[in-house]
Structure formats: structure tokens, C-alpha cells
């Protein structure tokens, strides 16, 4: 049995919402892992503040989970991590959340991170799916105390689980020791192969052109059938797309 997964930082709810929704619909993935999604429900809000509602209306994926980062200043919506699934979600855990962040302030290395955890009940096996929005730091290689704690915590929560997929915007380069530590226990799907996972059409700082911060890790033994980082203009990040065979894992 194969499962197709997309991981994407959707860019503050989806600044390019029509394009990103068309892309997600065309990809027809089984699991979608998003960062910077909004959960607003007021129909008068701009569509990007209603990411979860728009996803429901556009995609044929019936199961969802949302893990908040922080409230909008007017408390009309929360921003956070989202998982959309073709298969039932039987358990939801926010392993670590940055909900204590001040309103709208994200680019601060003192902030926590968001590690969302759900159990996906596929017809063959349960999967432990983790959605990470990592500790922010403009220095992608800095092994800060926050990143050190993050990597250790991730290893702690995945160590006894048989079938793990960890995906998201790590806010760190693959060469960061925090990512290397995680890679000693889970297999990095893209390793050091990607030059960047940012869409440079929407970035002015050239440092982003050499920062592959979006990553996917899987448990050893899980067979990755296909993997791509697609150069499409749907966000300020590029989407990671992976097909994994869980038949023998």
C-alpha cells in the first residue's frame, strides 16, 4: 500500500490561496501537512484566515487536525499546524506548542516550536504522523539551546513508535546538528540533496536561496517510492511531495 504525502508551509494562511488550492486538489494526496494555516470560521474574514474551511470545501479529504501557535490580535482566528487526511485520525496530541507566542510575533529564536502528532488509521497500518514548525533562527546552522531541546524532544516522542513520518518546516538547514541528531534515528528523505526549499520569487534575502529548511523524515525500513521538491509558485516555500510504501514496514 502506498501513501502520498505533501508537506508545505502555506504562507500565513495562503497568500496565493487560489494557486495553492488548485495545486493541492490536482496532486490528490492522501495526507497534507501544513504550517502557517489559519482556523478562522467567520465567513466575512479574508479567505486566507479561513484555511481550514477552504480546505474542507476544496478537497475530498474528510479528516483534519489543527494545532494552534497563537491568536490573531482580534482573536478572530488562530494560526498553527494542520494535518488533512484521507484516512481516519484516531489520536491527536500537541507534543509541544508555541501558543504562548505574542500576537503575530514569530521571528524570534526565544519562541518555542509546534510539534503536532496524530495517529493515522490506514487500511494496512497505523502511522504516527508528526508535523513540525521548528524553532525560528535566521542562522540555519546555529545549534541553539532551543534547537537542541527540540531535537532531543522529538527523539523522545518517536523512539518507541514503529512507523513514523515527521514532516514540516524545520527552520534549520540539514547541516544543523539538531537535524543531524534526528537523522541518526529517522531517515531523512531528501538528505542534503536540496539547495533550497524557498520560493525565491517571494524572497529578497539571498540567504534563503541556500536554505533547504523543509524536510521529511521516516522510520528506517519505510520504502520511499517517489520524492520531489516541486518548483511551483504557490507559497513562499516549495512543497515536498513523497510517496511511501507501508506494506512491509
CATH no. of 2-245:
3.60.10.10
| Claim: this prediction has a pTM higher than 0.85 | yes
The sheet carrying 223-229 orders its strands as: 63-71, 78-85, 31-38, 2-9, 240-245, 223-229
Model confidence band, residue 102 (pLDDT cutoffs 50, 70, 90): very low
Q: Please write the tens of the pLDDT for every residue from 225-235.
A: 999 999 999 99
What pLDDT score does 96 carry?
Answer: 63
| Rg of the chain (C-alpha set) | 17
Cβ neighbours of residue 44 closer than 8 Å, sequence gap 6 or more:
none
Model confidence band, residue 101 (pLDDT cutoffs 50, 70, 90): very low
What pLDDT score does 104 carry?
Answer: 45
Model confidence band, residue 73 (pLDDT cutoffs 50, 70, 90): confident
- Per-residue pLDDT, averaged over 146-167, amounts to 94
Q: Please write the tens of the pLDDT for every residue from 104-155.
A: 445 555 556 899 999 999 999 999 999 999 998 889 999 999 899 999 999 9
- DSSP letter (8 states) at residue 186: S
Whether residue 198 is predicted with pLDDT greater than 60 in this model: the reply is yes
Cβ neighbours of residue 220 closer than 8 Å, sequence gap 6 or more:
186, 187
Model confidence band, residue 103 (pLDDT cutoffs 50, 70, 90): very low
Whether residue 175 is predicted with pLDDT greater than 90 in this model: the reply is yes
**Cell numbers given for 127:** 502511522
Model confidence band, residue 91 (pLDDT cutoffs 50, 70, 90): confident
Each domain of the chain, given as residue ranges in start order, spans 2-245
Q: Please write the tens of the pLDDT for every residue from 3-31.
A: 999 999 999 999 999 999 999 999 999 99
Amino acid at each position: 500500500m502506498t501513501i502520498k504525502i505533501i508537506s508545505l508551509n502555506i504562507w500565513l494562511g495562503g497568500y496565493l490561496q487560489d494557486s495553492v488550492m488548485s495545486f493541492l486538489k490536482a496532486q490528490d494526496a492522501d495526507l497534507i501537512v501544513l504550517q502557517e494555516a489559519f482556523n478562522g470560521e467567520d465567513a466575512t474574514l479574508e479567505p486566507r484566515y479561513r484555511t481550514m474551511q477552504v480546505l474542507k470545501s476544496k478537497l475530498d479529504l474528510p479528516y483534519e487536525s489543527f494545532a494552534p501557535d497563537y491568536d490573531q490580535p482580534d482573536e478572530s482566528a488562530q494560526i498553527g499546524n494542520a494535518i488533512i487526511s484521507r484516512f481516519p485520525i484516531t489520536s491527536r496530541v500537541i507534543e509541544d506548542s508555541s501558543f504562548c507566542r505574542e500576537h503575530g510575533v514569530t521571528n524570534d529564536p526565544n519562541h518555542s516550536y509546534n510539534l503536532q502528532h496524530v495517529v493515522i488509521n490506514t487500511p494496512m497500518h497505523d502511522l504516527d504522523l508528526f508535523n513540525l514548525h521548528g524553532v525560528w533562527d535566521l542562522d540555519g546552522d546555529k545549534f541553539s539551546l532551543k534547537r537542541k531541546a527540540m531535537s532531543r524532544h522529538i527523539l523522545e516522542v518517536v523512539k518507541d513508535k514503529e512507523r513514523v513520518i515527521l514532516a514540516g518546516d524545520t527552520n534549520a538547514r540539514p547541516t544543523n546538528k539538531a537535524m543531524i541528531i534526528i537523522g541518526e534515528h529517522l531517515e531523512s528523505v531528501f538528505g542534503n540533496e536540496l539547495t533550497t526549499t524557498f520560493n525565491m520569487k517571494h524572497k529578497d534575502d539571498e540567504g534563503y536561496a541556500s536554505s533547504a529548511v523543509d524536510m521529511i523524515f521516516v522510520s528506517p525500513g519505510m520504502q520511499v517510492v517517489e520524492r520531489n521538491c516541486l518548483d511551483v509558485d504557490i507559497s513562499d516555500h516549495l512543497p515536498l511531495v513523497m510517496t511511501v510504501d507501508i506494506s512491509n514496514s
